[in-house]
Structure 1
């Protein structure tokens, strides 16, 4: 049985983690083995902690993509909630995963700044945090994501993600 990776990308404070957790709960409720790899949580678990310079970010997203692919090859539906502001990071994840679906949480930058769930935009504005995608760094939106969500509470996007997981499970059971 082969799992899949659902990579949820978008600006900081767009709702990635909210959507990821809602998808995990829905999948677990249907008896599907799934987990969330939240970029912030995984980053905090790594020792030494990766930096935010270009090399550190590249190494972090490579590690995250490899971890997601490893779990997917063991039959899990792995939901990754991570900004991954460069398309190259997400393309690398797609190359490693047995199956990857890219979900773009499309929320206006002004809305993300107003939410500022973790205080990152405020810290960036004060000069305490640098290199924040959407503030100091360009965020490269997906060219053609399989799913577009309008925030973390988007019911239609959640249904598409769960329906795709059902289809993957059916294909795996049929030996496809």
Structure 2
């Protein structure tokens, strides 16, 4: 597990995971009565001599905004095989998800716990850039990648519900 990962968004560069976690905690503290989804997902783009992987972290207050950041991981070779590329995307998502240790997750749950009877909730999701559609080349890997995320206690989401990977992270892979 790499605790030295660096994250950024449009307003802040070079954040440690500790800073990211504090921002997420602060975001929830603003309105602990709401429903929250913490979502992590990775996408990649193969370039001429390298492959860029981007992992996004999004905390969503249902109906009332988000806070997000990402990290880039460049590999100096082309990932030509689809299984290898999808597996690496999943591994990078797992790497970030593991930073949300049980203790950190408990800290987030404890923020909303007093408001559960009022409808407050917190879920953690892993967004995969794979799809089950008949025309989707990644459909043969869906069950394998979903199982890997479920081991970490995450709800695994695939296209079209995996927007952190397929939309947010995708935007920054180019």
Return the TM-score normalized by structure 1: 0.31
Q: Which is bigger in relative contact order (C-alpha 8 A, separation at least 6)? A: 1
Report the TM-score, using the length of structure 2 for normalisation. 0.32
Q: Between Structure 1 and Structure 2, which shows a larger proportion of helix residues? A: 1
Structure with more strand by fraction: 2
